[in-house]
Amino acid sequence: MAYSNLLKPDEPGTLLVEKVCTRLRRRQIVGSHNIALETAQLIYAIVRVVKFSTLDELLALLKLIGRRLNEANPKELASGNIVRRILRLFREEYRAAAATQITQPSTPLSGPETPGLHAPSSHYLSQDLSMTTTPPRTQNHSPNLGGTSTLPVPSRAPSLSNFVAFRHSRAQLERSGSTLSELTQAAASIENEEFMRQSAKLKPIFIQAIEEVIGELETTHDDVAKGAREHIHSAEVIMTLGHSKTVETFIKHAYRDRKFTVIVVESAPSYLGHTMAKSLSASNIPTILIPDSSVHALMPRVTKVVLGAHSILANGGLFALSGTLSACLAAKAFSKPVVVTTGQFKFAPVWNLYHEHGAVDFQSPGNVLGYEGDGSAGGITGVTTNAPYYEYIRPELINLFVTNEGDHSPSYIYRIIKEAYDEEDVEL
C-alpha cells in the first residue's frame, strides 16, 4: 500500500508501517506505554527517511499513518494520541520558525529554540523598492541531529526576474485601488508561500521534537512517581489492583520516606496481582495479596485506592483492567479516595458516554470457563461467556489523576486534552 506520494509501495518506510500494523492486529504489542513508544519510534524512522517539500505533505502523511494504526487496533488509543501530539509539535515548530523569519529575516538562526529558514532573494523584494542591495552571505553548515544546527543563509541580492514579477503584481494592485496595507499583506502572503515550500529544511528540528516525545515516554513512570510523597503518608493502607508499572514505581518511590501497607488484588483471571505483589515484596514493602472477592470486605480498612489506567477519555472516565470497577464502587460506598496514576500520553480526545460495552476490549474466556465439558466442542452447552480485559470506569468514581505534568481532577481532563491536541487532528 502506498502512503501518498511520499512513501511508495515496497519502500522501507511503507514496509515498516505495515509491520507495526500487523503486530497491533495480532496483539503482539500490548499496553498503552509500549504502543505509544512504538508509535513514536515509527514516526521518528519515517520522518528521517521521507522527502517532503511542504509541511502539509508531511502532516498528511502522519495523519494517514495514524489512521492505519488506529484501524489495526481501534481499542488502543495511545497510538493516535502520540500522532496527534507530534502533529501539534510540528505546527508549533513551524510557526516559531515562521515568526523568527518575519521578525529577523537577516539573522542566521541555529538550534531548536529559535528555528528559522532563510528565504531566497525573492523574499526580500518588498524591502528592495529603493533598489538597494547588500552583499551576499553564505554559511555552509550541515544539520546535526544530535545538537544545534545552522541552516544556510542565501544571498540577499534580488534577481531581476523576481523583481519584475513583484513590480508587475504591485502595479496591478495599485491600478485596482489597493491600499498600502493590502500591498503589505500581498507581499507577506508571497513570503509565507515561499517559506512553506522550504519547510523541508526544518526536518532536523522536527526530528528533535520527536526525540523529546520519546524521551518523555521513557521517563513517564519516574516523572509520575515524583509526587508520590504528597499522596501517600505513613501508616496508611493502600489498595491497588493488578500490575501497573506506573503504580509500582509510584508506591516504591513513596516507600522511601513513608512506611505503609499495600493490599494487592490478584485480578483474576489474568492474576497480574501476583506479579505486583512479588515486585513490592522484593522491595521490602509490606504486601498482602487478596482475591477479587475480598475487595468489598477489606475496603473499610483501606485509606486510599491507587490504580493504573489503560486510557483516559475526554469526559474524565477511563478504561482500566477488569475488576477495577468493583474496587471503585466499593471505594465510593465507603467514601475512600481513588487516585489514578497515569502519563498524559494516555489522554484521548474521545467521549464514551453511550457505548461503554462496545468500547471494552475482550479476551478469550478460556481462563474463566474451561474448555472441558459435555458440549460437542468442549465447554458447557448453551452458555455464552464474555471475558472483558478492560472495563469502563465513570468519572464520578475517580477523585484525582496524578500525571507526569501534575495533578488534575476528572472535570479538568477535557481542558488538558484541548491544550494538548489541535482540533483539526481530533479525527485523524
Assign 310 a pLDDT band (cuts: 50, 70, 90).
Answer: very high
- Domain endpoint, select from 174, 189, 218: 218
Residues 124 and 196 in one domain: yes
Given CA atoms 402, 403, 408, 414 in this order, what sign does their dihedral have?
A: negative
- Domain endpoint, select from 182, 201, 218: 218
Give all strands (DSSP E) within 313-416, no chain letters: 318-321, 338-341, 362-363, 387-388, 390-393, 400-403, 406-408
Judged against a pLDDT cut of 50, whether residue 259 lies above it is answered with: yes
Residues 55 and 114 in one domain: yes
Q: How far is CA 141 from the centre of its chain?
A: 32
Assign 193 a pLDDT band (cuts: 50, 70, 90).
Answer: low
Residues 242 and 211 in one domain: no
Highest mean pLDDT among 49-63, 183-197, 334-348: 334-348
| DSSP bridge partners of 110 | 150
| Closest by Cα among 320, 328, 313 to 360 | 320
Residues 102 and 157 in one domain: yes
Range of the domain at 95: 1-218
* CATH (domain of 398): 3.40.50.10470
Residues 278 and 203 in one domain: no
**In this structure, what C-alpha cell is assigned to residue 57?**
505533505
Residues 238 and 140 in one domain: no
14 versus 135: the higher-pLDDT residue is 14
Assign 382 a pLDDT band (cuts: 50, 70, 90).
Answer: confident
Residues 274 and 134 in one domain: no
Judged against a pLDDT cut of 70, whether residue 415 lies above it is answered with: yes
| DSSP bridge partners of 188 | none
Residues 171 and 141 in one domain: yes
Q: How far is CA 284 from the centre of its chain?
A: 35
Strand (E) or helix (H) holding 182? helix 180-197
How many whole angstroms separate alpha carbon 253 and alpha carbon 264? 17
Please give the mean pLDDT across all residues of the chain. 78
125-165 residue pLDDT tens: 344 444 444 444 444 444 343 444 433 434 444 444 444 45
Buried b / exposed e across 18-47, counting CB within 10 Å, b at 16+? eebbebbeeeebeebbebbbbbbbbbbbbb
Identify whether the C-beta of residue 124 lies closer than 8 Å to the C-beta of residue 251.
no
Residues 73 and 157 in one domain: yes
Judged against a pLDDT cut of 90, whether residue 6 lies above it is answered with: no
Judged against a pLDDT cut of 90, whether residue 304 lies above it is answered with: yes
In the sheet that holds 318-321, the strands lie side by side as: 311-312, 318-321, 390-393
314-336 residue pLDDT tens: 999 999 998 999 999 999 999 99
How many whole angstroms separate alpha carbon 323 and alpha carbon 328? 9
Judged against a pLDDT cut of 50, whether residue 261 lies above it is answered with: yes
201 versus 413: the higher-pLDDT residue is 413
80-105 residue pLDDT tens: 999 999 999 999 988 888 777 666 65
Q: Looking at residue 201, what is its pLDDT?
A: 78
How many whole angstroms separate alpha carbon 291 and alpha carbon 264? 9
Q: Looking at residue 369, what is its pLDDT?
A: 73
Q: What percentage of the chain exceeds 70 in pLDDT?
A: 70
Average pLDDT over every residue of 217-228: 93
Residues 73 and 176 in one domain: yes
Q: Looking at residue 340, what is its pLDDT?
A: 97
Judged against a pLDDT cut of 60, whether residue 198 lies above it is answered with: yes
CB neighbours (10 Å) of residue 261? 16
CB neighbours (10 Å) of residue 146? 9
Residues 66 and 25 in one domain: yes
Verdict on whether the full-model pTM lies above 0.85: no
Judged against a pLDDT cut of 50, whether residue 117 lies above it is answered with: no
| Structural domain total, the chain | 2
Residues 16 and 129 in one domain: yes
Residues with Cβ within 8 Å of 305's Cβ and at least 6 positions away in sequence, in order, are 238, 239, 240, 327, 328, 331, 336, 337, 338, 339
- Domain endpoint, select from 218, 239, 273: 218
Identify whether the C-beta of residue 209 lies closer than 8 Å to the C-beta of residue 235.
no
